[in-house]
Chains A and B, each alone.
Chain A
Amino acid sequence: MDGLLVTEMEIFNKRSDVSYYEIGVFDKDFQPIPFVSSFTVYEVNYLKKVKFEVYIRRKDEPQVTYICSRSRVLEQKVSNTSVTSTICSKIKRK
């Protein structure tokens, strides 16, 4: 696909209280960068892995710095306080 770059990502869920993770692509200042994936929120059951692909535009490549997953909690499961966890992978250019 001309004009597109792709990466394959894998999320491993070690939180028994979370089943959904939202993904995002960001620059060095954590400003969002457009991307395409099958979903923006993936269901990942406890101790399970999910693989997916992330596509970005070639013109955005110099700015892409982080790809992050952020836990999401269903609204009806929100408790008194909850913890949102975000894991960001950083691109290392060779």
Chain B
Amino acid sequence: MKKILAFLAISMTAGYALADAPITGNVQSRCVVTTDTPGVYGNPNAYTLTTSPSDGGVLPIVRFDVTLADAYYAQITTPTEFTSSPSLSDTVTWTGSTEVSAVSDATNMGDYETNKTTFGATTQYDLTATGSTWFKSSSAAAYGGNKAFPGGQYSATVEAKCIAQ
């Protein structure tokens, strides 16, 4: 028996079928993720890197645009490691959090922040309304034993996922 599968598509359009009986089931994009602000680490002291604006950093902001309500989760994960850095001989302690920065529909998105769930470095929001939501994340890295970070280029990544329910 052939099974016909269809995608609930987000930024991808999709049709799914048996190879010998292709079925085209294109659907429209429903979720788009864009970077509003990449973010910058400030260096308030020798052993701390932080995106806190009061310490010279810039908070990364990600925007989710959804055109179908109750269909997606937004998952934003703050960094737990550097994507590139000089060689580090001691441990790095990471802290981070994510919160709603702005919404396009205050009436229907007003409870996003109170209804969020957090697990580890990941914060999940149930995108129950259509429109745009901006999420800002904070991130800080502290080098072990309050030792000075070695000089060099440090990079880290915030991961933003839009997952169909």
Contact = CB atoms under 8 A, between A and B. Distances in A.
The size bracket of the interface on B is 35 or more
A4 B6 CA distance: 17
Interface in A9-27: 9-12, 14-15, 17
Given A81-B38, A87-B162, A69 B157 contact: no
A92 B5 contact: yes
A61 B19 CA distance: 12
B44 to A, nearest CB: 15
Contacts of B5: 7, 91-94
Contacts of A69: 11-12
Nearest to A94: B4
Contact of B29 (A2, A12, A15): A12
Contacts of B46: none
Contacts of B8: 89-92
Interface of B: 3-20, 22, 24, 26, 29, 31-35, 38-41, 51, 60, 62, 79, 83-84, 139, 154-165
